[in-house]
Amino acid sequence: MYNYHADIIWAANIALLAIVALTCLVILLTAVVKNYLWEERRRGLLGIKSNIYEFILSNKSPSSAVCPSFVNGVTPQQFIDIKTNRRIDAAFFNDSEQQFLKDCFISPEALAKLEKTAKKSSDKWRKIEAMLCLGYTQTQSAVGILKDTILSKDKDVSYFSMISLGQIKTVPSARVLLNFLKKDPSSSYKIVSILEAFPPDIADDVVRLTDYHDPLVRYWAVTLLAKFASGEYILKLEKLAGDAVPEIRAAACDCLGNIGGIKTRPALIRCLKDDSWLVRSRAVHSLAKVMGDSSLPEVAVLINDPSWVVVDAVKTVMTEHIEASLPYIERFLAGDYEVAKKYSVLALQDSGYLVKLLNEAISGKSHAAKLLKGVIKSRVHSGLDAALGSLDPVMREKALEILMET
């Protein structure tokens, strides 16, 4: 007979049984405690809400002198609950309630306590909550602390430092973020996303970053600059439009397009001849943004571009300025280049001009009939079905007659 070690298995079973029983108990206890804590949290928030109402009804305006005493008991967790409405299932706080609490929350004592926690707490999530509170209350002195915490090896501490700095929205907080962008370009997407919401007075600092040696940093700096750029940076952007990296040249085109004005045109026209399709396509969009339909003589020639992205950009410009584009479309339809024909018809379709063209042709306008003939002969007349479908039956009959003739 084999020895099956029944005694060992039974011993393991008894141990397992005890563990299972204990786990059941711990689950139930955890559920009860969690439920209790949740109720406490809910009651706490509702209590703060009713206290705020009572205070407001007593017609007092909040100031450090008259801030009600209950604010002293508000914890960082509750403050964030209120500021972000993340516990909306417990209580909702409107803007004025949030503002009231923000004005009262930061007493010098509370601030000192928060700063201490943000600097020294070994509990990561308490530290982060303190940092967020400093951010939400826009405490300027917190920038110094966040400048250190953003460099933390802990990714969460670093990330929430960025978020907190993003709430402060001043030039010093932007500088910390921009410096961090240089150190850790992998965070650049989030940093740029945060900095976009800053006031334009950070533009000078952003411009300085466009000279940085790392192309990724330069790229994000130019991308961000597109949000704040004004005429004074045109020379700088013209230089960036000649950068060695195509993405940077493309971003410079976007920036120039946002600035607009006559001075940006030469650089944008130069970019239409760039080696990179990315730059050419952005230059097409930007030039159209700056010059409107008068960009068409420069832009329309790129319908023959080898890159479909550029051709699509030209089509978009033609769609936006369809009336002014008609002479070009006529010429393309009469030509031999199939891509130009296709995108011309698409421009007519996307702009909804095909319906107008049919109506004009029905009312006997010869130029419309001529253009329609060009569309039919192009053999890429997608969209005519839908255009015909939108006409009433009598008009549709007439349109079909004209189409048959052409």
When binding is defined by CB under 8 A, the residue of 201, 211, 385, 397 that contacts another protein is: 385
Decide: is 383 part of the binding site for another protein (CB under 8 A). Answer: yes
Decide: is 80 part of the binding site for another protein (CB under 8 A). Answer: yes
The interface mask with another protein, positions 173-212, x = CB under 8 A, is -------------x--xx-xxx-xx---------------
Decide: is 393 part of the binding site for another protein (CB under 8 A). Answer: no
Total residues binding another protein (CB under 8 A) = 52
Least separation in angstroms between residue 80's CB and another protein is: 7
Return the residue matching tokens 């962008």. Answer: 181
Least separation in angstroms between residue 60's CB and another protein is: 29
User: How far apart are alpha carbons 278 and 274 in whole angstroms?
Assistant: 9
User: How far apart are alpha carbons 221 and 108 in whole angstroms?
Assistant: 37
When binding is defined by CB under 8 A, the residue of 382, 397, 400, 405 that contacts another protein is: 382
The interface mask with another protein, positions 20-49, x = CB under 8 A, is x--xx-xxx-xxx-xx--x-----------
Decide: is 346 part of the binding site for another protein (CB under 8 A). Answer: yes
Decide: is 308 part of the binding site for another protein (CB under 8 A). Answer: no
The interface mask with another protein, positions 89-128, x = CB under 8 A, is ------------------------------------x--x
When binding is defined by CB under 8 A, the residue of 149, 167, 351, 378 that contacts another protein is: 167
50-68 in b/e form (b: 16+ CB < 10 A) is ebbeebeeeeeebeeeebe
Decide: is 340 part of the binding site for another protein (CB under 8 A). Answer: no
How buried is 366 (Cβ within 10 angstroms: 0-12 exposed, 13-18 middle, 19+ buried)? exposed
**Given the complex with another protein, which of 41 and 398 has the nearer CB atom?**
41
- Contact region with another protein (CB under 8 A), list: 99-107, 152-160, 170-178, 275-283: 152-160
User: How far apart are alpha carbons 340 and 334 in whole angstroms?
Assistant: 10
Decide: is 400 part of the binding site for another protein (CB under 8 A). Answer: no
User: How far apart are alpha carbons 235 and 215 in whole angstroms?
Assistant: 19
Decide: is 309 part of the binding site for another protein (CB under 8 A). Answer: no
Amino acid at site 369: A
Least separation in angstroms between residue 341's CB and another protein is: 15
Least separation in angstroms between residue 160's CB and another protein is: 6
Least separation in angstroms between residue 115's CB and another protein is: 18
How buried is 151 (Cβ within 10 angstroms: 0-12 exposed, 13-18 middle, 19+ buried)? middle
Least separation in angstroms between residue 136's CB and another protein is: 9
Distances (CA, A) of 372 to 176, 202, 278, 358, 386: 60, 53, 33, 8, 15
Residues that bind another protein (CB under 8 A): 1-2, 4, 6, 9-10, 12-13, 16-17, 19-20, 23-24, 26-28, 30-32, 34-35, 38, 80, 84, 86, 125, 128-129, 132, 156, 159-160, 163, 166-167, 186, 189-190, 192-194, 196-197, 227, 346, 349, 382-383, 385-386, 389
